[in-house]
Amino acid sequence: MSSDTENDRIFKALAHHRRRELLDALKDGPQTTGALCDLFGDMDRCTIMLHLKVLEEADLVIAERRGRERWNHLNALPIKRIHDRWISGYAAHAVTILDRLKTDLEV
């Protein structure tokens, strides 16, 4: 699979606010699908499962079966790769421009 296709899946997964909320809920540790359903009472189980599937396809969530429970784990590595590729490079450029502006204003 190409890097562009992987990035497209990650951006698609992150585009929906409810999927971002699900990832936020997993930041402090893995949770069962049932616990996520309790946490997001305004969504039915089927909708949560559909969102989790998109997150899994983007490799942002890793599901683990333990008996009858499905544990959902956050995988932050794809987000870090997006950060390294897109955000850090642009942030460094912005800092350079701000530094240049500060120097110009001080002269």
Segment (H or E) for 32: strand 31-32
Q: Report pLDDT for 107.
A: 72
Whether the pLDDT of residue 83 is over 90: the answer is no
Domain assignment present for 85? no
Residue 104 binned pLDDT confidence (cut-offs 50, 70, 90): confident
Give the number of domains in the chain.
1
Q: Which residue, chain included where needed, has tokens 């069962």?
A: 32
Domain assignment present for 30? yes
Taking only the tens place, the pLDDT of each residue in 26-62 is: 999 999 999 999 999 999 999 999 999 999 999 999 9
Looking at residue 55, which CATH number applies to its domain? Answer: 1.10.10.10
Domain assignment present for 55? yes
Q: Report pLDDT for 95.
A: 75
Whether the pLDDT of residue 91 is over 80: the answer is no
Distance CA 25, CA 29 (A): 8
Residues 36, 72: contact at Cβ < 8 Å?
yes
Share of the chain above pLDDT 90, in %: 68
